[in-house]
Amino acid sequence: MTADRDAGAASIRIELPIGSVEDIAILRGALLKARATELSELQRRAGRHNLGYGTDSARESMDDETRQLRRRIELLDALIAALGEG
């Protein structure tokens, strides 16, 4: 794995030995499962936030967590797309 820095942005190149075509499908499935898990958690937390659960400080924390979950989903989407290109 190598990382390149360019004007504050980072790019990571990952090389992963794949034993067979089936391994690609397994990896894609694992990434999709991780994405579904993150999306489910995002929906749960966003729902709690929208329904007004918690104190003001807890709601601020939920805001931070939902932003982080959205970013993790975006990164998983990028990995899934890169896997499709390979």
Give domain status of residue 2, yes or no: no
The count of structural domains within the chain is 1
Give domain status of residue 78, yes or no: yes
CA atoms within 13 A on the CB side of 56: 0
Give domain status of residue 54, yes or no: yes
Give domain status of residue 1, yes or no: no
Give domain status of residue 10, yes or no: no
| Three-class secondary structure assignment of 1-20 | CEEEEECCEEEEECCCCCCC
Give domain status of residue 8, yes or no: no
Give domain status of residue 9, yes or no: no
Residue-number span of the structural domain to which 46 is assigned: 17-85
Query: pLDDT (tens digit, 9 = 90+) per residue, 26-84?
Result: 999 999 999 999 999 999 888 877 777 767 777 677 778 889 999 999 999 999 999 88
Average pLDDT over residues 16-35: 93
pTM: 0.73
